[in-house]
Structure formats: C-alpha cells, structure tokens
Amino acid sequence: MNRRVVITGVGLLTPIGIGVKETWESLCAGKSGVGAITRFDVSNYQTKIAAEVKDFQAEDFLPKKEAKRTERFIAYAVAAARMAIEDSGLVINGSNSDRVGVITGCGLGGLSILEDTCLKLNNKGPRRVSPFFIPMMIGNMAPGMISIQFGAKGPNASLATACAAGAHAVGDSYKLILRGEADAMITGGVESVINPTCIAGFNSMKALSTRNDEPEKASRPFDRDRDGFIVGEGSGILIIEALDQALERGAKIYAELTGYGMSGDGFHMTAPPPDGSGAARCMMAALEDSGFPFDKIDYINAHGTSTPLNDLSETRAIKTVFKEHAYKLAISATKSMTGHLLGGAGGIETIFTALAISDGRLPPTVNHDNSGDECDLDYIPNVMRKARVENAMTNSFGFGGTNASLILSRYHSS
C-alpha cells in the first residue's frame, strides 16, 4: 500500500517534567533531571544518583481503585498514552477500535514489584504474595492496560529489546500502518526500575556513573570525562496514523515517519563493536528504507549514553555512514538531561526528534565541556540551537547488540 504515516499526538512523563510542554521547555533550557536517589537507602551503593520522575500521582491518570493495584511502569505508560490521545484528538470508538493498536517497549518491566515480592515471599511465606503480582510484573501489561483504558482493539504487543525497545515499538507500529494492518497506533516506550537490584546490577557491570557529588553533571555524553550512564525512568507515547486519516479529521502533524532500520551487532552481550559496524548497518538500513541519501539528514538524536565505549562506537558509526557530512550534522544527546530510560528511551527520544522538527529548536548536550577522543562532531554543546530541520534520525542501541534507527521528516503535502 502506498501509505504515509504521521505523528499526530505525543505524551511525555520524564525526570524533567510531567507533560510535553514542561519536559520540552526543560530540555531546551538544558535542565538536568538527575539527583540523589530517594526510593531506597543508597548508603552502601557505589552509585547514589538517578533521574527519578517527580511529583507523579497515578490517580491523576487512572481510576483510584486501578491506580492502587497498578505497578509504576504501567501507570507511567497509561499516563503518557492519555496525554498523547488527548493531544491528538483521536477518538477511539466502536467504528474504529479494531483498527487502532498498541505496541510499547519496556526493557525490564516490573522488576521493582518482582524484587518486593521475592522479599515478601522469603520473609513472610507464599500466602502473602499478592494476586496482582503477575499482572503487575509482566511487561505486556503496559500495552494491555492502555488497550483496556482506551478501547484500542487492534494489534497489541510488547517488545523487550533492552534499550532499543521503545524505538523498535515505534518502528514496528509504523510498518503495521504501512502494510494496512492498522490505521492508527499508540506506541512508544516506558521504564521504571530505579530500585536496589537494578542499581546494584549495573554497578557490578561498572556501567553507571559514580559522580555522586555532582549529580547534574554526571551524564555527559561524548565528553572526555564521561564515566557511565545514569538510570532514568518515565514514558514517551506517540499517536501515529495513516496520513489520509489524519488529514480527514484535521489533525495537527508534528512530523512524518519516513524510515526504519534494524540490525544486530553479533559481537558481545553488552559492548558494541569498537568500529560501530552494527550501529552503522542500522542507520544505513533506515536511510535505505527512507530512500534519502545520507546528506539529506540534518539532525540526529543520538543514543549517547555517556559510557566510554558506546559514545565512541556511535561516533565512529556516524562517520562511517555520513562520511564528510557527519561534520555538518547537528547531534543531541538528550540522555545528558533525562538519564537513560532503558526500554523507554526510544519513545521519549522519538518525541524529542519530532518536536525538534516541528518547533525548530534543537536540544543541547549538556555537560559537554571537553570532547572525548575521536568524539569531534557537533554535539550542540550546552546551549539549545534554533534551526530548521527537514529530516532527522534517532538512534537506540541495546544490550545483546540489538539496534534501531528511525527517520522523521518535516511534513509536506506532496
């Protein structure tokens, strides 16, 4: 089918704001959401900082009874979905419900409730395990609850492709609409795993920053002094739909989805290949899917985790794909402010990319004071930049070597 797919609604719940306006303004202002962990005692932990969502009340987005038995990551996804649906003006009813689907990505799902339940089981026995434990834990309850709350009865799935999950969810949803299997999709990513097990696990891998005395400066992608990533949490959900439907109902259009690429590193469980070959193949696949030559891309929202290996690998990949044009690209690493939302990262960063196109503001990479070895591209250091973007790319790369790249474009009627 010769269809086009556009973004007509967005919802954001992040460490730098609840709602799209607050988050976007904070991002463009270079505000960091990183601070001391408040969820548990961190006195014995190497890393004592994270990017927590502040002042969230599930009751603001879910019926009170439902809110009490809904795990945090599920509530985040439903909240962001509600924002996105309201923003889009999409009405889901009996006439179209089976043509509206939900796909979300989530890397670790209900790790927090799993941790709490295991402790309860060990300390108090099996009779104290909640009957809601299983449905509160499994990752597919995020799209499941969105479907239940809003009546979307089309394709429904949850992806668990680590830090690429949110981007894969958007890409797979895009392809469903292109193939005519749905007319609209509620899609994106979510994560909420700021808990003892998660922080201890990543610390054991030496993956996290330990810059505890300067939380807001801890996430510093592509900077010489980067020492690891910061765990973040939240959700970014989009409404994407067939262009003809969007035009028929007079929807506003943030951007058009024009390309999607995937690849596997085939290299290591957690480390990327040093030459960035897996990421390069992924970006090339997205370009091929879009039909654009590499020099038509103006802007990249980078994966940019603030880890020594990943930032260098991604930079090398960008140089491989874009050749001399790599030095003309504007590049943001927004994880410098939001932290790394793991499976939720691709959702919020796709929205950031769409907003950069529609609003003409490119978020900065904060804490970029001294470029790291070979990290010599234009990472928009520290200060937002105004620019007109026609075509942009967003990258998400996950453990296991699973990669996703999306291309978004300014909407033109022809």
User: Which sequence positions are flagged as catalytic?
Assistant: 163, 303, 340
| Cα–Cα distance, 333 to 139 (Å, whole number) | 27
C-alpha distances (whole Å) from 87 to each of 36, 63, 102, 169, 328 are: 32, 20, 17, 20, 34
| Cα–Cα distance, 361 to 386 (Å, whole number) | 5
CB-based contacts of 361: which residues, under 8 Å, 6+ apart? 28, 355, 384, 385, 386, 387
Tokens in use for 269? 């469980």
Plot region of 195 (φ>0 → left; ψ -120 to 50 → alpha; else → beta): beta
| Cα–Cα distance, 183 to 177 (Å, whole number) | 6
Q: Nearest-5° angle of CA 11, CA 100, CA 77?
A: 30
Alpha helix ranges (H) inside 43-164: 64-68, 72-88, 111-124, 133-137, 141-150
- Contact criterion met (CB below 8 Å) for 354 and 113: no
- Contact criterion met (CB below 8 Å) for 189 and 345: yes
DSSP 303: -
Tokens in use for 249? 């109902």
| Cα–Cα distance, 311 to 222 (Å, whole number) | 6
CB-based contacts of 126: which residues, under 8 Å, 6+ apart? none
